[in-house]
Structure 1
Amino acid sequence: MTRIILLESLRDFTKEATAGLMMPTKVTSEGEIQQFRPADVYLMRLPDGSSAKKKAPYVLHQLVTGTDRQPQGQAVSARANVRSIFCVYNDDEQEGGLMLLNLMERLRAALLRKVVIGEQFTLDLEAGLEVLVYPDDTAPFFIGEMASTWKLPAVEREVNL
C-alpha cells in the first residue's frame, strides 16, 4: 500500500505545483476552438493506451522499482524509484519545447523546495533528481521524463527474529 500512497501523494502534489500553467490541447475537428487547461496527472498508465497524444498535456507517474533493505545491525530502509513522463502539445515547435521545459521545471523546483510529500515520503537527493527532454522530433507533441528516488516508511515486522 505504501507505494500506492506515494504515487497518489505525487499526483496530488503535481496537480498543485502545476495548476496555474494553462497549456493548449490538440484541436481534433474542424471548427473546434482551441482549449487550454493544466496538465492532467495519471498513475502507472494512461486510461486508454491508444490515447497518448489525445490526452496531452499530461504527467504520468510510474513506479519503476522498489527496494527494502536491512543491513545487519541497522534499521529497515525502503525506497521507490519513480519515472514521471511529461507530454505537451503545441503547433509551434519552439513554444512546445519551452512549454515542456516549463512544466517539468515547475514540478522539479516544487519538489526541491518541499522535499517531503504526503507527510511521509522524502525525495532522496543523494540519488538525485534526473531530468531528460527527449531529443526526438515528435512535434507537435513534446515529451520528457524525470527520474526520482523516494525514501518510504519501512514496513514494521510483526515478529522479531
Structure 2
Amino acid sequence: MTSVVLLEQLKAFTEEIMADMILPVAMQQGDTEQAYRAPEVYLMRLPDSRAAKKKAPYIIHRVIPLETEQQPGSEERTVVSVRSIFCCYNPDEQEGDLALLNMMERFRVELLKVRKVGAVGADGKPRYQFTLDISPDHKLESIPYDEESKPYYAGEMITYWKLPTVQQTEDIELWR
C-alpha cells in the first residue's frame, strides 16, 4: 500500500460525502446564468493551475512529508501527512465564508466518524487500509485563509494517516 492509494481512497471518500453539497460555480466570460455543482476533487494539484478560479468549488488532497519509524521491539510505523485544500466561490462574502466552513466541517466530521478509508474486500466486507491518526503528536488541523481573495474563499486541513506495515522479504534478489 502506498500514499498514492491513500490519495485515491480519500478522493473517493470525499466525492461521496460532498456529492450533495451544491455550491455556486465561478461565472466565466460568456456565462448567462449562475451554475451550481458539488466540489470537484483533485489529487496533488489542479490539472491547470492557471485555472484555479475557473475550477471553484474544489478540494485538493496532497501528500506532504512521509515519516517511517520503528521503536526497538515494536512494529514499523509509517505516517503520511495529507494537506487538503478547500476552495469555493460566492459573490456574497458572508455566504462564501460559511460555504467554506461548511465544506471543511463536513469533511472533518465525516473523517472523525469513520476514522478509516479504504476498499471493500472480495468477500464484500469492508477492508480498511488507512487509519486516521489523531494522537497527541498528530492533531487534525484546520485553517481557513484570511486572505483578501473575495469572492473566492480557501482554507486547508492537515490530516495524518497510518499506512499498513511493509512486510520485509528475505529474498534480496528481488531488487537486483
Q: Normalization by structure 1: what TM-score?
A: 0.96
Unaligned residue ranges in structure 2 (runs of 5+): 119-127, 172-176
Percent identity over paired residues = 45
* Residue 166 of structure 2: aligned partner: 155
The Cα of 1:128 is off from its aligned counterpart by 1.5
Question: Quick one: which amino acid aligns to residue 71 of structure 2?
Answer: P
In 1, Cα distance between the equivalents of 2:71 and 2:155? 36
Unaligned residue ranges in structure 1 (runs of 5+): none
Q: Which runs of 4+ in 1 moved over 3 A?
A: none
Question: Quick one: which amino acid aligns to residue 49 of structure 1?
Answer: S
RMSD between superposed Cα atoms in Å: 1.2
* Residue 125 of structure 1: aligned partner: 134
Question: Quick one: which amino acid aligns to residue 17 of structure 1?
Answer: I
In 1, Cα distance between the equivalents of 2:41 and 2:85? 10
- With over 3 angstroms needed to count, the CA separation of the structure-2 counterparts of 1:152 and 1:102, relative to structure 1, is same
Question: Quick one: which amino acid aligns to residue 64 of structure 1?
Answer: I
The Cα of 1:31 is off from its aligned counterpart by 5.0
- 3-state SS of the aligned residue for 1:137? coil
Deviation string for 1:28-64 (max 9, x for gaps)? 1245211100000000010001111110000000000
Instruction: Answer with 1 or 2: which has the greater Rg.
Output: 2
The Cα of 1:2 is off from its aligned counterpart by 1.2
Q: Bigger CA drift: 28-37 or 79-88?
A: 28-37
Residue 96 in structure 1 maps to residue 96 in structure 2 = yes
In 2, Cα distance between the equivalents of 1:31 and 1:157? 56
